[in-house]
Amino acid sequence: MKLLEYQAKEVFRSADIRTPNESMVTTPQDAVKIANESVGYPCVIKAQVPVGGRGKAGGVKVANNADDVLTLASQILGMSIKGCIVDKILVSQAISIHNEYYLSVVLHRASKKPMIIMSPSGGVDIEEISKNRPEMIFKEEYDFILGFKDYTLRRTYQKMFQNQEEKVSYKEFKGFLQKLVNVYFEKDATLVEINPLIVHNKECMALDAKILLDDNGLEFHPEFEKYVTSNAEETLQEKMAREANLTYISLDGNIACMVNGAGLAMATMDTIKHFGGSPANFLDIGGSSNPEKVVNALRIIASNPNVNAILINIFGGITRCDDIAQGFREGLEKVKFDLPISCRIIGTNDEKARTILKEINIPVTTDMDEAVQNVVKMAKGG
């Protein structure tokens, strides 16, 4: 489960992790009240949605006075960002920023230990840093018994702050990291991320926050019940998928993916990125051959206005390919959309499936790379 920014910061503050002075509101009038009474000016109005790209979509604005707050809050509340309607905003203290850093805690699957990922080039996606400036990413493994290894963490600390005017002590930096790791453990998180992290008055501060919680651990955390019951954490497509008993995760791209099996779905998204495309979602229709699943999946995909093309990737084992193809036939009759489709299908009864798909004019191949390259061209208008 993904927490919204204001929710993640509530968790941070409970762990004594510093954040700006801010409050979540749901009306423009309340935004003005908070700005006047506690936050002050200038302040930042930030849309609270469970997707990235808020700034580019116009969901993050700076207000210099009460009139600005009223105008900007009215504009942001109710807007749609990647299919998510904004019904909450964060009114946040504007902090002077000299440098932006990246910091996160994730699981290192090989060592089965938490890994702290850091970079002095924050403020952008970590994938972008990794691609364009890999030398600016530093990693530290956290030992369950020994904690941080001082001799390696000190080197990382020096690399992180060697070229910066701000002075944050090693003790402050290490203590801040420890608090972040504690949140990771104590809240059963799968990701704890700060981007950007800033230094304010010689102390580390989380200017933004992201926390992903392990759904299997939610029963041990009654404090998160208020977040679980909030629809704000779901996109429209995720809500539709949950109601249809499908596994779906919204992403930022424009190529919709419909795949059977989580592993194949992950490999499919990696292959799309490899060939220059961007996946719009993770969607696993499961291992059964119920055509109704395909119909529901098409409904979900067609509801996303950001999708330019659809990739269907089926490897039939238990799943019968002809049943999947029949689901496409039924889906195209029930769900009206005008999107190009590329399909790769192979496995049990795949010849029958290809016959059905050709009858309804869906191009089909048995080669995954070919199907992905085709859909990337389609998404780009080729």
- Give the predicted TM-score (pTM) of the model: 0.66
What DSSP designation does 229 have? T
Contact 212, 220 (CB under 8 A): no
Name which residue leads in pLDDT, 335 or 29. 29
Pairing label, strands 255-259, 247-250? unpaired
User: Which of 21-25, 126-130, 222-226 reaches the highest mean pLDDT?
Assistant: 21-25
pLDDT mean over 363-373 = 94
Residue entry with tokens 């592993």: 263
CATH code for the domain defined by 21-93: 3.30.1490.20
* Token pair for 306: 């950001």
pLDDT band at 289 (very low <50, low <70, confident <90, very high): low
Give start-end residues of each CATH 3.30.1490.20 domain in the chain.
21-93
Give start-end residues of each CATH 3.40.50.261 domain in the chain.
235-379
* Alpha helical stretches, state H, 251-367: 262-274, 291-302, 321-334, 350-359
The catalytic residues are 102, 193
Q: How far apart are CA 319 and CA 268, in angstroms?
A: 18
Specify the pLDDT at position 218: 81
Specify the pLDDT at position 137: 93
Give start-end residues of each CATH 3.30.470.20 domain in the chain.
101-222
Contact 166, 98 (CB under 8 A): yes
The percent of residues in the chain predicted with pLDDT above 70, rounded, is 97
CATH 3.40.309.10 fits domain 235-379: no
pLDDT beyond 90 at 230? no
Rounded mean pLDDT of the chain? 90
CATH 3.30.470.20 fits domain 101-222: yes
Q: How far apart are CA 49 and CA 82, in angstroms?
A: 9
pLDDT beyond 50 at 231? no
User: Tell me: the pLDDT tens digits for 164-188?
Assistant: 777 799 999 999 999 999 999 999 9
pLDDT beyond 50 at 92? yes
Residue 165 exposed, middle or buried by CB count within 10 Å (0-12, 13-18, 19+): exposed
pLDDT beyond 60 at 36? yes
User: Tell me: the pLDDT tens digits for 145-167?
Assistant: 889 989 999 999 999 988 777 77
